[in-house]
Structure formats: C-alpha cells, structure tokens
Structure 1
Amino acid sequence: MKRPKLAGLFLFLCCLLTYLMFVKHHYSTSRPEAHRLPPHRRPISSDAGRRFQFGIMFDAGSTGTRIHVFKFQMEDKGAPTLAHETFRAIKPGLSAYADEPQQCAAGIVELLEVAKSSIPPLYWTSTPVVLKATAGLRLLPGQKADQLLDRVRALFLASPFLSADDSVSIMDGTDEGISAWITVNFLTGGLHSAHSPTVGMLDLGGGSTQITFSPQDEKTIQTSPIDHIRSFQMFSNTHVVYTHSYLGLGLMSARLTILGGVDAPPLGGSTELVSPCLAPEYSGSWEHADITYTVKGQRTGEPVYEACLSRVEKVLYQKVTEASGVANMDFYAFSFYYDRAVDIGPDHVTCVSVFLPAVCGGVSGSPQQSPFLCLDLVYISVLLQELGFPPQKQFRLARTINQVETSWALGATFHYMETLKMH
C-alpha cells in the first residue's frame, strides 16, 4: 500500500513543479506587455513633445485688409520659433466702407475662413484673433471709425476664436513702428539674446510712415524729443528705441498733397489736379479715398525733376524731425519703399541717390505706364534726407525675410501674446 502512495505523491509533486515552472515563464514573458502603450497611443515622432500656439492678426490698412495666421513653437526660455505663416490680402481697406459699415462683413468673414482652414479645430478656442487698424481709420471721423470697429468686433465674437474687448482697435502710429521693428529684428535674429545687434526699420504705408531704431549713442536719447523715446520688454529683455510715426505722410496721402488735392483744393468742387510732378503731356485719372481725380502735367518751362523737387520740399517743410545717429546704422526699408525701388530695378540693397533725377528725366518717354513714378521717388528721396539719411546711404529692401512678411503684424502678435500672459 505504501508504494502506490509514494508514487502518487511523486506524481503530484512533478505536476506541481511543472505548473510552477509554467506560471513563472508566463509571468516573465507577459509582464512587460502590461506596461506597453496600445499601438494607437504610442508617440509617432519627436514632434509630439513640442508645444505649439497660434495667433491671428488682421492688418486693416488704408489700401486693404490682410490676415496673418502664425504658428509658433513655444520654448521654455527665450523667443519662440515661428513654425509657419499663412497670409491673405483683400481690397479695399475698411475705411472704404465708412458710410456703409455693414458692407465690410463679407471680407472679414472670408479672412476668418482662411484662419479656420489654417488652424486645427483643437486650437480654435485658445487662439487669439486681433484686428489693428492703421492710418486709414485714424483719418476717419471718430463715429464712422467706431461703427466699422463695432461691426468687426461682433464678427470676432461670433467666431470660434479667442476674442476680448481689446481685440479690435485703431493702432497708435508709434505702436505700429515698434511692432514693425520687433518683426524685423525677430526675423534677423536681433531679439534672440540681449547682446545681439539690432537693425533700424523704415515703413512707408499709404497714410503714414514710421521710423524706429535702437540708438547706439546715449546722445541720441538725450537730444531727441521725449515722446520719440520708448522702452519696452520683449522675451525677457528690455529695449529702448527711438520711434515716431508721421500721419498724413504715407505715400498716397503725400501724393494727394503734392498734387494739390489737400493744400489747395480746386474751387467749385472740381477734382482736376494739375502738377509739375507729372509729364507735361500726361492726362489721366487717379482714385484715392473713393474720389476719382483727373490729373494732368503742366508746362512750367523747367525740367520735371527740378519743378517736382521744389514742390515736394515745400510740402515737407518743417514736418519731419531729423533723427540723429542714423547715418551709420543698418536699416531695413519696406512697404512702398520696397515697391517703388522694385519699379526702377535695384537689387536687395539700394541708396537714396537711386531715387533721383534720372527717373524723372525719362518720365516723358512713358508717362502712361508709370505717371506717378517721378513724384513718388522724389518724395521718398526728400523724406529720407529730412529724416537724417545722407544721399549715399544704403538700405536693405525687403518685402519678406525668411519668407515672412516684413510688416508690423508679427511684432504686434508677440506683444498681444505677452499681454495675455500677464493677465
């Protein structure tokens, strides 16, 4: 009886040992699997660890409305990286709807659709949408400007994006200059550290013009008008800049003044303007601020350049403050500075002397193709010299830097995002 019992016990122990070996093997091979992410939850690339933020800036200028949709890669310290920009422009500007503010809605809605198609829906409610109006609305009567802004504000509040009371406003000219300076120096690397050299900025719009730079000499700060010096923080660094905006000295506003449409409007409500800045045989039409003018050249007995130069100098007399210390600084010039330089074919660097008599000397050859080229270039030349630049001064001309528009929009977006952080 003992032998069968011993055999049974032995068989039981063998089975138990075999079972324990199986359990141990199964546990050792299956335990790591319990901590693996399911395939659909595994990070697909290193991009998954990056933090992104979007910003939408509407630039409501005097000649059109433009939208910039920015995608930023946020960094723990220092300046963010601009990962992508979507840009779209429509005409006319908001100021064209001053008497019918409801008519501006279609264009704003069209641009909001551009933003919606450029930003993943997940980010819509956290993406600020901002509209800054510039000289076109600054020149309007207050009530008409407010009606346009209220219409835009209602459209923004109905959109899926982040909108607040200060999301729609008229931009101060000085802030426009500072924001453009931030844009240029961010794109050229001047804001990435406290010791990086910065460049100056010249912007010539349709209704206003701005100059902004960081003075290299303490004397410039001490001798400049107090309201021309501003200090601000950006990306944890403090910047002191000279900045000023000249309302009414943008190229289109100045052109009208030079033609006589502002300083000496014709009697009887006539819209005919005669100017020595146009070729003597020229006659054509020009539309500005919803008014179509008939413009003609006049025979003065002296060359077009000399006659036009005299007229422009009278228009600018004592209207511009010379900025000390700019002669030896690097400056970027854009907007109409760039556009008119392209008309005469320079490369990415040009100087004031390019904008001088040779162009006007040939104006009579093809006045129909570019009737205002002489006027515009003479105005630019005199304006730059009034600002303190010598005729041989070279400027770097750019519509874009690293494929990003050289406007104030990027800088204003950074500033608004910094404001949101503080609140």
Structure 2
Amino acid sequence: MAQQVFLLGVLSLWALSGCRPAEATEYSPLFPGMDNVLPIITRPANASRIFYAVMFDAGSTGTRIHVYTFIQKERDELPVLDNEMFHSVKPGLSAYADMPERGGDTVRQLLKVAKKTVPRLEWKRTPVVLRATAGLRLLPEEKARALLEQVQQVFDESKFFIPSDSVGIMNGTNEGILAWVTVNFLTGHLYSNSNKTVGTLDLGGGSTQITFLPKSKKTIEASPADYIARFDMFNSTYELYTHSYLGHGLKAARLAALGALGAEGLEWRVFASSCLPRKFREDWAFGGITYKVSGVEEGTSGYKPCYEEVLRVVKGAVHQPLELKGSSIFYAFSYYFDRAVDSGLIDGSRGGTVEVRDFKNRAKEVCNKMSKYRTVSPFLCMDMAYITCLLKEGFGFKEDTVLQLTKKVNNVEASWALGAAFDHFKNLNIH
C-alpha cells in the first residue's frame, strides 16, 4: 500500500504545484508543460473508477510488459497505484533484426497479458507504449526501424489507445533518469521532498546506467557536461549525475572480453577466454548473431587472468564521479541482482544488502571453482568478474559501498518503466 500513498502525493503535487519545465534539453524528460493536467478519467457515476497503463520495455535480452492498475476511489480524489502485472519473454527484439515480423509477434503475444488484465471495455482508454533500449540502439538504423514499424502495426491492430509517440527508442540518459524516479518514488524519497535520495545502478544486456543526486557541487563541476541532467519536479530542481554506457551491458561486455565485438569469420573462429571452464566449447548467441566460444585449453584460467580480461573492457571507458568514494546507498538491479542470486550471494526471493567487496570475494570463489558453478552458467565467472571490475575500476566505488540488490520495490519492478508511465500521463492528458 505504500506506493498508493506515494502516488496520491505525487499526483497531488502534479496538480497543485503548477510544475514548470526545465530548460529544454534532451536531458529534461520529466513533466514539461504539466500545468493543470490531471491523469484522471471521468466516468459515469455508476462506473468503476479504475484505469490502466501498459508499458513495454524492449531490452537487449528480453521484452517485458508492465500493466499498471490505478484506482480513483472518489470522483473528486486523485487516483492511486494499485498494482502491476508483469511478464517477459526472451530473446529481445534485437534478436529478430533479420525477421522483424517475428519480433512483432513476440509483442503480440505479450499483449495477451494486457488483454487478460484490462477489461475489454477499457481497452480504448488504456494507453500502450513501447520503448526499446540498448538492443535496438546497437542495431543498424534500418533494422531497428523495421522492428519498430512491426511493433507499431501490432499496436494499431490491438484496439488499445495508441498515442502518437507510442513506439520508439529511449536514449540512455532518459533510461537512467526514469529508473531513478521509479526507485526513489517507490522508496518514498521523492514523496518526502527530501534530498536523501538513493542512487540507482542498472545493468542490462547491452548497456549499463548509473544515476544519483550529487551531494557536492564539486561532483557536478568535475563531471562532463552531458553527464548532468537538470529538471524541475514538484517545485524542486534536481541536478542528477546520470550516464548510460552503450556496449557495457553484461552481454555486450562478454563480446568485448572475448574479442568478438565486430569480428569477422564467425563461421570458423572460436573465441577463447580464461573466464570460461577449460573444456567448455559451445555456440552462444547475442543480438541475433551466433559466436563459437570456449575456455582456454592451454594456459591459465581463474579469477586473476579473467579479471585482466574484463579490465581491458572497463579501463579508461568509464568516468569516476568524485563522491562515489563516499558512503551513498545505491539500489542495483537487473543483472546485478540476477548474478548475485546465481552465485548464491543473495536470496532470490528477498534480495539483500551487500558491499562491493562481496561481489569481489564471490567472483574469486566462482572463478577458482568454475566446475562447481558450470551448471548454473558457464559465464558466471566472467560476469561476476566484470561486475566487480565495473564497480571498482569503472565507477570507482569503495569496497565498503553498500548496494541494495533488488528486483522489486513494494511489489513493483525496479526499472525505468513506472517512471516512463508517469512521464506519459502528463503528455496524454487523459480525461
């Protein structure tokens, strides 16, 4: 019920604060032109005051659907968030780069979840939106466009309400900001109108995002200009440090560590790594392309040589904000959470709090006992070593930095999707 209270407060602020847009830049995705717009639907007196929003997250490794249910309890009251229906399919849209019709079919199948959740009489009032992330950003433009055109066709046939900008690719900056909004909204930090927010770390398949509210002006002054996003929200101006590293998601980092990124002769080349079990040799697919990968038959394997491999991917490619050497709390999700579960670092049903050093220690154990963890994933050593390297050598976190690993916050998925739904409410002006 906590998120219901928060949403009531947030929507009240939207209505009453007369939010003004921040300076128009590509880093200001939130609440432009929000004056006197209420995200409510007027109903006949005897009708159920429930409405819905459907958000698709088309990531590099899977496509997810979020169906949000909102309730307006009284005619003169603002609605509250009631629940979320979530479902996902693999692989992601980018795997269908040469078969866009099949990519559209995956979205069509997921729409069945929305049709089962949303009553038929509400379909024409329920907005459906899809935003693609790194998977499509990494594709050639014409292939990405063909996939999005198929999705648009599926949407147009769906009988739901389809906004004019319902299908598109989200830039990495907005992805980071909206995930930060989601997590801080669900944890109550935005509702409390406090500067005591939490940072967010999102590790996808194709890209990774870091977003936090700097406590020190030195952090802002020392950061590249395009790493600082400024926007007005709830009568407060926020200046976030946020950046998306395309090509540094977990799966894309595997390609880089293997030396397979952009390689030719894939039909005969085998990409070996000391991060993989010695006798391992299999085909591995990412982004619609299949690679032959193996462990090293001769030479060393284990944590140390593996760490050297992933360090070449991270070193010099990731900016280190000054104050990350402090004690700020970060919420980490997506593959941070998944790999921590796979390695036994946390319980998958509860999540948990860890320190950065815990990733390093568990990575050492996994890499030095690869045969023990091979059935979980032959890539687990590489993934854990990469996460450790990204946190320490990339972002520059101290070993005692606390990370809250989570999949859901208050029973809502930790992702940018809810923040994006809020962002669309003010654009749609639903009545």
| TM-score exceeds 0.5 | yes
Which residue is equivalent to 2:248? 249
2:422 is paired with a residue whose SS is helix
Whole-angstrom CA distance in 2 between matches of 1:77 and 1:353:
51
1:355 lines up with 2:359 in the alignment: yes
Larger relative contact order, structure 1 or 2 (CA cutoff 8 Å, min sep 6) = 2
2:226 is paired with a residue whose SS is helix
Deviation by residue 1:254-293 (Cα, 9 ceiling, x = unmatched): 0111112127x36575241111112333333322223333
Deviation by residue 1:166-218 (Cα, 9 ceiling, x = unmatched): 11000101111111111111110111132262110000000000000111112
Letter in 1 for 2:285: E
Which residue is equivalent to 2:270? 272
Which residue is equivalent to 2:323? 325
For 2:390, which of 383, 393, 403 is the aligned residue?
383
Query: Please, which moves more after superposition, 126-135 or 230-239?
Result: 230-239
Offset, 1:299: 5.1
Counterparts of 1:16-415 in structure 2 under 5 Å? Answer: 52-73=50-71, 81-195=80-194, 197-235=196-234, 237-262=236-261, 265=263, 269-298=267-296, 301-302=299-300, 304-326=302-324, 327-347=326-346, 348-356=352-360, 357-385=364-392, 386-415=394-423
Please identify which structure carries the higher helix content. Answer: 1
Letter in 1 for 2:304: E
Whole-angstrom CA distance in 1 between matches of 2:257 and 2:112:
40
Matched residues, percent identical?
47
Structure 1 residues 368 and 236 mapped into 2: Cα distance closer, same or farther (>3 Å)? same
Letter in 2 for 1:352: V
Whole-angstrom CA distance in 1 between matches of 2:373 and 2:340:
18
Structure 1 residues 369 and 156 mapped into 2: Cα distance closer, same or farther (>3 Å)? closer
2:135 and 2:287 in contact (8 A); partners too: no
1:282 and 1:367 in contact (8 A); partners too: no
Structure 1 residues 306 and 300 mapped into 2: Cα distance closer, same or farther (>3 Å)? farther
Structure 1 residues 280 and 161 mapped into 2: Cα distance closer, same or farther (>3 Å)? same
TM-score between the two structures when normalised by the length of structure 2: 0.81
Letter in 2 for 1:274: A
Offset, 1:74: 5.5
2:275 and 2:301 in contact (8 A); partners too: no
Aligned length: 377
Letter in 2 for 1:375: M
Query: Please, which moves more after superposition, 206-215 or 184-193?
Result: 184-193
Offset, 1:296: 1.8
Structure 1 stretches of 5 or more lacking a match? Answer: 1-40
Letter in 2 for 1:400: K
Letter in 2 for 1:415: D
CA-based RMSD: 2.6
Structure 1 residues 98 and 221 mapped into 2: Cα distance closer, same or farther (>3 Å)? same
Offset, 1:105: 2.9
Whole-angstrom CA distance in 2 between matches of 1:268 and 1:140:
18
Offset, 1:129: 0.8
Whole-angstrom CA distance in 2 between matches of 1:105 and 1:365:
39
